[in-house]
Amino acid sequence: MTIDLAGLLAYAASFGVLAAINVVICLSLELQWGRAGLFNAGVAGFVAVGAYASALLTAEPAAGHLAGPGLPVIAGLAAGSVTAGALSVAVGSLARRLRGDYLAIATFGAAVVLELLLRNLTPLTGGPLGLAFIPRPFAGLADRPLAFALASFAWVGFIALVLYVGIGRLVDGPWGRTLRAVRDDERAAASLGKSPVRFRLEAFALGGALMGLGGALKAHTLGFIAPEHFPPTLTFQVWAMLVLGGAGRRQGAVLGAVLVTALWSATDLLLAFFVPAGAQAQLAPLRIVVVGALLALGLLWRPRGLLAERLRVSRYL
Amino acid sequence: MKDDHDPRPPPVLEARGLVVRYGGVCAVDGVSLAVAAGEVVGLVGPNGAGKSSLFDALAGDRRPDSGEIRLGGTRIEHEGAEARLGRGMGRTFQVPRPIGSLSVLENVMLAAPGQAGEGVLASLCAPARVRAAERRLAARAAELLDDVGLDGHADANAAHLSVGQRKLLDLARLLMAEPRVLLLDEPMAGVHPATAERLGERLTALAADGRAVLFVEHQLGLVAARCTRVIAMAAGRIACEGPPAEVLADPRLAAAYLGRTA
């Protein structure tokens, strides 16, 4: 048996695309939970909103549904982020003061409502079948899998890198410092003139917008989306990434995202190679069990994640 | 009411008829007071007299059930703590509240008002400006830590400080916010006597600088040494008020501490 080097490389690049998208989504949750202590139980919903908004605005007009004006992908990414960010502001304002359990319930509820809308608002969302023919950058290379995978990894990876750097400027500076104060002791922060509501809402909106961006990236790399791409287990997966990697540190979010994506892909391969085709569908849910078990072990060994939060905030000292 | 020839500057902080109730308990029962720039006013009285509740109402941590609060002539009783700090009045807490996930130095830097880097856009687009501001803040914060005697602890985790050190950190943090009116809730409790003495000097210097200081303290010696005026509270009301020597000798104060009404 010869090893197909090009095939292997293409697989690695596709894995890289998937991992980079998960890094974006996990960094968003890190912003909300790690830095601001905001419990988002509806990650999948915010990701889905970004994906559908971008897909609808970039797709060519077609018979049967309301797909849109065929804007360039970059405009779609921006629109996906803005839409998800606006949704975050709405949900955040409803869960007034954005505290603890109320926010968790509000975000969970929002995600459930969104999933129902995606499945049933067929003229807009395509219903259970979803949306297809979403433009993919470098689609001209699609008949050369290696070149296409590498190009996709390059542009998605670039966006993830820009976000990583940008979020760093925010959270490792005065903004992140005040956010930590608000997270740890709201009353002390307010007594120092900091508005807890303002900082929480900023973190929640920014995190939500970046989740939307992650969803839009998903749409433009897959080329089609359906409600099943944004199941409630997606929320669980992203939380598992963050908790394993370590909330309160960007590197933790990245590490967790890459690890869980790798585990997910590895179990996918194991299923494909070692399980008869007929049984694959039944065994696929076991992957959730594997991630859950890993999460439990991680929490036992390193309760604060592989990379724990550091004391110093300001990168300028 | 006010003498036209009163040489004192007009009050910066003024409260009239403040009432704070917890259910059926009236913790602050119609308190009126005024603190002028340049004054150090001591607030004394036994536990449960309503001093901390009065502070909570003045600082905006608890909305008074009735009464007026004015800062520089503006009514502020409807505003929250963060807005009142923006107007120039800040507090420390009886049980200090350090941010445990920050270093001591960053706890102090945190309090600086109007930081460019607290804006999302400025942080993203003008890192050079943020860096310059951070350097200035760090230098100023180090100065204040030095002032309160916490130099050498700048890089420590704020959660690891002793209670007395936390009090000092609370004070340094408040000073970083540069308020005109300082409400200090037992700033010297648990603090080493030598440091407490230094803090006392610091309060006098702040007043000389034109700020108004209102502070709760149980060590009456410190109160006598540092205050220009003393207000004694008992059972939610002002029992007596005046120069330290008079108030501390007033039988009503002793009666309040001993639980009797004079």
- The verdict on a CB contact (< 8 Å) between B118 and A314 is no
Q: Please give, rounded to a whole number of angstroms, the shortest distance from the CA of A169 to a CA of chain B.
A: 6
In chain A, what residues touch B133 (CB-CB under 8 Å)?
Answer: 174
Q: What is the pLDDT of residue B261?
A: 53
Q: What residue of A is the nearest CA neighbor of B83?
A: A193
**B99 to A314: CB separation less than 8 angstroms, yes or no:** no
Amino acid at A309: E
Q: pTM score, two decimals?
A: 0.91
Tell me the residue ranges of DSSP E strands in A1-127: none
Per-residue pLDDT of chain A (317 residues; tens, 9 = 90+): 466 888 889 999 999 999 999 999 999 999 999 999 999 999 999 999 999 999 999 987 766 566 678 889 999 999 999 999 999 999 998 876 667 788 999 999 999 999 999 999 988 888 899 998 899 999 889 889 899 999 999 999 999 999 999 999 999 999 999 999 999 999 999 999 999 999 999 999 999 999 999 999 999 999 999 999 999 999 999 999 999 999 989 999 999 999 999 998 888 888 888 888 888 878 878 888 888 888 888 888 888 888 888 877 788 87
User: Would an 8 Å CB–CB cutoff place A97 in contact with chain B?
Assistant: no
| Contact partners, residue A302, CB within 8 Å, separation at least 6 | A246, A308
| Contacts A188 to B, Cβ<8 Å | 93, 97-99
Q: Flag whether residue A88 sits within 8 Å of chain B, measured between CB atoms.
A: no
Question: How many A-B residue pairs are in contact by the CB < 8 A criterion?
Answer: 113
C-alpha span between A172 and A312 (Å, rounded) = 8
DSSP assignment string, B213-229? EEEE-S-HHHHHHH-SE
Q: Residue B26: name the closest of B260, B247, B233, B229 by CA.
A: B233
How many CB atoms neighbour CB B153 within 10 A?
18
Inter-residue contact A309 to A249 (CB < 8 Å): yes
Tell me if A191 and B59 make a contact (CB, 8 A cut-off).
Answer: yes
B91 chain-A contacts, CB cut-off 8 A: 191
Q: What is the pLDDT of residue B1?
A: 44
Average pLDDT, stretch B241-251?
A: 90
Task: Indicate yes or no: CB of A185 within 8 angstroms of CB of B97.
Answer: yes
Under an 8 Å CB criterion, which residues of B touch A? 59-61, 80-82, 85-86, 90-91, 93, 97-103, 105-106, 109-111, 113, 115-120, 123-124, 127, 130-131, 133-135, 138, 155, 157, 173-174, 177
Residues 6+ apart with CB under 8 A from A213: A24, A28, A50, A77, A80, A81, A84, A159, A163
Length of chain B counted residue by residue: 262
- Which of A184, A195, A312 lies at the smallest CB-CB distance from B100? A184
Picking from B146, B137, B193, the residue whose alpha carbon sits closest to that of residue B171 is B146
The bridge status of strand B89-91 relative to strand B181-185 is parallel
Inter-chain CB proximity B113 and A193 less than 8 Å: yes
Our CA-based measurement puts residue B77 at a distance from the nearest CA of chain A, in whole angstroms, of 15
pLDDT for A62: 67
pLDDT at B178: 93
A175 interaction partners in chain B (CB closer than 8 Å): 117-120, 123
- A-interface mutation test, from B52, B118, B183, most A Cβ less than 10 A away: B118
In sequence order, the 6+-apart residues with CB closer than 8 A to the CB of A137 are A73, A151, A152, A155, A220
ipTM score for this prediction: 0.88
Please write the tens of the pLDDT for every residue from B149-181.
Answer: 898 999 999 999 988 899 999 999 999 999 999
A-interface mutation test, from B63, B103, B107, B110, most A Cβ less than 10 A away = B110
Return the closest-CA partner of residue B91 out of B201, B19, B181, B206: B181
Structure tokens given for A213: 């961006």
What residues of A are in contact with residue B97 (Cβ under 8 Å)?
A: 185, 187-188, 191
Of B60, B123, B177, the CB nearest to A170: B123
Q: Which uninterrupted H or E stretch holds B41?
A: strand B40-44
B11 or A2, which is more confident? B11
Please answer yes or no on whether B106 and A177 come within 8 Å at the CB atom: yes
Choose among A178, A184, A312: nearest Cβ to B103: A312
Cβ contact (<8 Å) for A175 and B123? yes
Confidence of residue B2 (pLDDT cuts 50, 70, 90): very low
